[in-house]
Structure 1
Amino acid sequence: MELIQIIALAILQGLTEFLPISSSAHLILLPQMEGWADQGLAFDVAVHVGTLAAVVWYFRRDLLLMTRDWGRSVATRQMVGESRLAWAVLFGTIPVGLAGLLFKGLIETELRSPLVIAWATVVFAPLLWWADVRGRGARSEHAIGWKDVLVIGVAQALALIPGTSRSGITMTAGLMLGLSRSAAARFSFLLSIPVIVLAGGLNTIDLVRGEALVDWTSLLLGSVLSGLAAYLCIHVFLRLLERIGMLPFVIYRLLLGAGLLYLYS
C-alpha cells in the first residue's frame, strides 16, 4: 500500500466509524473511486483496532464502573449500579452477532456494491432526520429498559448492510425511543465496543487461516491514525451534537447517495 492510501483510509475509518454516515461504505467506495487495490483484510482489522482503542479509552471510566458493577450483579443476581447499562450493551449485541454469522457470505459479496450503498445511504437518511425532530426526548442511557435494548439491538443488525451506518441506525432507534441526542450517541458508542471486538475476531481468524504476507509497518501506522481520528471524532461529536443535531449528516447522506446513484445507475 502507498503511504497516501494508508493515511487516507485510516483517517477515513476513524472519522466515519462513529458518525451516522457509514464507515464501511466509505472504505468500500474510496478505493473504487481512486482506483486503488483493495487494502486487504489485515489493514481492515488494524484500523478497527485503532477505533476500538479510541472508544475504550474515551469511555474508560464508564467501562471500569460498568465492568465492576456487572461482576457484582452476576455475584448477587440483581442489578447493581451501572450493571443495567453493562447488561444492555451485552444483550444489545446479540442480534447483530447472530445476523453476522448467518449472513456473512452475503454481506461480503452481493451487498458490497455501490448501488446497495447508495440506496441504504439515501433510505435511512430521512428516518434519522424524523427521529431527531420528532422522537427526541430527555432520557439518559442509564434509563434504558429491555424493550429499548431489543429495538436498538435489532436496528443495529440492519447496519450489516453497507451504507446503513451502525452508529446512524442505533442513534435513530435511540432517538425514536425517547433518548436524548447525547444519550443515544453514548449508548451507540458503547454498543460499538463488543461489535468491533466480534467483527475483528472473525476477521483475525480469517487472516490467520490465510497465507497473505503482512506489512506490519502499514498496519501499525493505520491503527494509530485511525485511533487518533476516532478519538477526536467522538470528542467533538458529543460536544456539538446537542447544538447541531443530525441535520448536517442527513444532508450529507442524501447528497452522497444521490451522487452514487447518478454515477452507478
Structure 2
Amino acid sequence: MSILEALKYFILGLVQGITEILPISSSGHVELAKVLIGLQEDKGLLFLILVNTGSLVTMLLIYFKKLYRIYKDFFLYIFKKDSRERTLPGFSFGLKIIVATVPIVIVGLLFKDILNQLTTDYNVLLAGVGLLFTGTILILIAGKKILNGNTHINYLDAVLIGVAQSVAIIPGISRSGLTTSTAINRGMGIDSALNFSFMIYIPASIGSVILLIKDSFSEGMGVESNVMYFYYFLAFFAAMVSTYFAYRLIFNIFKSGKIKYFGFYCILIGLLSIGLFIL
C-alpha cells in the first residue's frame, strides 16, 4: 500500500464531496483532479459508485426527517381519505419532487450511451465548456439575489428546475448551481431554492448509483488489486465528510452574494480544462 496513492484517493473524495454541494460541478472537478494528480487512467466503476454514495448518504442523513414527513403524508393522502386535508401539503410537495425528477430520468435513459461516448473521448473538454457555462450562470444570478423570495413552489417551477437538473448531467455543469439559479430566477427565496435543489438531488443520485451498479455487472468494478478497495473506501469516507461541511457553507455563500466569485472561479478552471485538453 502506498501512502501517496491513498492520499490521492482521499483528495479525490474531498473534491467529490465539496464540489457536489458547492455550485462548481463535481464531475468536472473530479475529472480535472484525476488529470492533475495522475489518476486519469482509473476508470473503476466502484470508485464512482462509492464517492457518489458518500455524498448521497450525507444528504440522506441531513434531509431524512423532512423527506420522511413529506412521503409519509404523500402515501397517507393516497391511502387514507379521511386524512387528506391534513396531508395535502406533504402530498403536493412530494409530487413536485417526483415531477422535478422525471426530466433527468428521461434524459439519462435516452442519452446515456451518447454521453458516455462523449465523456470517454472528450471528458476534459466537455468539463471545461460546462464550467464556462456554469460560471456565466452564477455571475448572472448573483445580480438577482433574493433573500426573502417565495417559499411556495408550483408545478411549473418543479418542471423547470427538473429540466435544469437534467442538463447538469453534462460534465462541468453544476447541478446545484443550475437548479438553484433556476429556482431563484423563478422568484424563490434562497433557502427554499437550495432545499428543493438538494431534495431532488437525492432521488436523482439514487438513480445514478443504481445505473452505475447495473453497469458494473457487465463491465466489472475495475478493481485491479485488493488494496484498491481501501483506497476507494477512503475516498468514500472523504466524500461523506466533505459533503457535510460544504452543505454547512453553501447557504451563507448564496446569501452573502459571494456566489459571483464561484462564477469567476468556474470560468478560470474551465479555461484551464480546455487548455489541458488542447495540450
Does 1:201 find its partner at 2:210? Answer: yes
How do residues 28-39 of structure 1 correspond to structure 2 at under 5 angstroms?
Answer: 28-36=31-39, 37-39=41-43
Q: Of the two, which has the highest radius of gyration?
A: 2
Change in 2 beyond 3 A, CA 1:94/1:41:
same
Cα distance change of structure 1 residues 154 and 30 upon mapping to structure 2, 3 Å threshold = same
In the other structure, the counterpart of 2:78 is: 74
**Residues in 2 aligned to 1:249 and 1:40: alpha-carbon distance in whole angstroms:** 30
Residue in structure 1 matched with residue 170 of structure 2 by the alignment:
161
State the match for 1:110 in structure 2: 118
Contact (CA 8 Å) 1:137, 1:178: kept in 2 or not?
no
Any conservation in 1 of the 2:46–2:232 contact (CA below 8 Å)?
Answer: yes
Shift in Å, 1:188: 0.9
Farther off after superposition, 42-51 or 27-36: 27-36
TM-score, length-scaled by structure 2: 0.87
Range moving further from structure 2, 118-127 or 74-83:
74-83
Match in the other structure for 1:220? 233
Distance 1:168 1:208 in 2: 33
> What SS does structure 2 have at the residue aligned with 1:160?
coil
Kindly provide the CA deviation profile for residues 143-183 of structure 1, in whole angstroms up to 9, marking residues without a partner as x. 11000011111111111111111111101111110112222
Residue correspondence of structure 1 range 17-166 to structure 2 within 5 A: 17-36=20-39, 37-76=41-80, 80-111=88-119, 112-134=122-144, 136=146, 138-141=148-151, 143-166=152-175
Structure 2 CA distance, aligned partners of 1:199 and 1:218? 22
* Identity of matched residues, %: 25
CA contact (8 A) 1:135 1:177 kept: no
The answer to whether the Cα contact below 8 Å between 2:27 and 2:127 also exists between their aligned partners in 1 is: no
Rounded to whole Å, the distance in 2 between the matches of 1:167 and 1:237 is: 10
Per the normalisation by structure 1, the TM-score is: 0.91
Distance 1:4 1:101 in 2: 35
Tell me, in whole angstroms, the C-alpha distance in 1 between the residues paired with 2:274 and 2:213.
33
> CA–CA distance in 2 between the matches of 1:213 and 1:173?
37
For structure 1, list consecutive stretches of 5 or more residues without a partner in the other structure. none
- Give the conservation status (yes or no) of the 8 Å contact 1:92–1:150: yes
Give CA deviations for 1:210-259 in whole Å, capped at 9, x if unaligned. Answer: 34464433333222221111011111222443124421211111111222
8 Å Cα contact 1:45/1:203 also seen in 2 = yes
Alignment equivalent of 1:247, drawn from 242, 260, 271: 260
Verify: 1:3 aligned to 2:6, yes or no. yes
- With 187-196 and 67-76 compared, the bigger mean Cα shift is at 67-76
Give me the whole-angstrom Cα distance separating, in 2, the residues matched to 1:262 and 1:211: 32
Equivalent residue of 1:20, what SS?
coil
Alpha-carbon distance in 2 for matches of 1:230, 1:45: 15
| Contact 1:155/1:173, CA 8 A, preserved across alignment | yes
Encode CA deviations 1:34-89: one digit per residue, 9 max, x unaligned: 32231511011001111011001111221121121111222257562323222211
Q: Secondary structure at the match of 2:70?
A: helix
Q: Could you say which residue in structure 1 is the equivalent of 2:194?
A: 185
Cα distance change of structure 1 residues 246 and 96 upon mapping to structure 2, 3 Å threshold: same
Structure 1 SS opposite 2:21: coil
Mapped to 1, the partners of 2:38 and 2:59 lie a distance apart of 31
Q: Is the contact made by 2:44 and 2:222 (CA closer than 8 Å) also made in structure 1?
A: no
Q: Give unmatched runs, 5+ long, in structure 2.
A: none
RMSD: 2.1
The range that moved more, 195-204 or 4-13, is 4-13
Distance 2:66 2:232 in 1: 29
